[in-house]
Amino acid sequence: MTSVSYERVFTPGDFARAHLFFPLLGGYDEADPLFSFERGHYPAYELLLIERGRGSIKHGGVWIPLTEGDCLLHDMRVPHAYRADASDPFAMYYIVMDGLDIEPLWRRFTSATHVVFASADGPVGMKDTLLQALRLLREDGMTADAEIPLSALLYRLLVQALSHSGGYGDSPARKPEVLEKARAFLDTEYLTVRQIREAADRANMSLYHFIRQFRRHYGTTPKEYVLHKRIHHAKRLLLRTESPIADIAEASGFPSYNAFLHSFLRTERQSPGEYRKQWQKKSPKSEGEIIT
Tell me the per-residue pLDDT of 168-201, one tens digit each, with 9 for 90 and over: 433 345 678 899 899 889 988 999 999 999 999 9
C-alpha 137/C-alpha 133 separation (Å) is 6
What's residue 140's pLDDT?
57
Angle formed by the axes of helices 102-109 and 144-162, nearest 10°: 20
131-140, 248-257, 278-287: segment of lowest average pLDDT:
278-287
End-to-end CA distance of the chain: 14
C-alpha 227/C-alpha 252 separation (Å) is 10
CB 191 within 8 A of CB 230: yes
Query: What homologous superfamily does CATH list for 177-279?
Result: Homeodomain-like (1.10.10.60)
Q: Cα–Cα distances in Å, from 50 out to 6, 81, 93, 145?
A: 15, 15, 7, 30
- All CATH 2.60.120.280 domain ranges of the chain, comma separated, are 6-169
Domain formed by 6-169, architecture: Sandwich (2.60)
Which DSSP state fits 89? B
Confidence of residue 222 (pLDDT cuts 50, 70, 90): very high
Confidence of residue 208 (pLDDT cuts 50, 70, 90): very high
In this predicted model, which residue has the larger pLDDT, 278 or 202?
202
C-alpha 155/C-alpha 105 separation (Å) is 9
C-alpha 151/C-alpha 146 separation (Å) is 8
pLDDT in tens, 93-130: 999 999 888 988 888 788 788 898 886 555 557 888 99
CB 25 within 8 A of CB 41: no
What's residue 119's pLDDT?
64
Average pLDDT, the chain: 84
**Residue 214 φ then ψ, to 5°:** -60, -45
CB 104 within 8 A of CB 232: yes
Sheet holding 62-67, edge to edge: 36-39, 80-84, 54-59, 62-67
- All CATH 1.10.10.60 domain ranges of the chain, comma separated, are 177-279
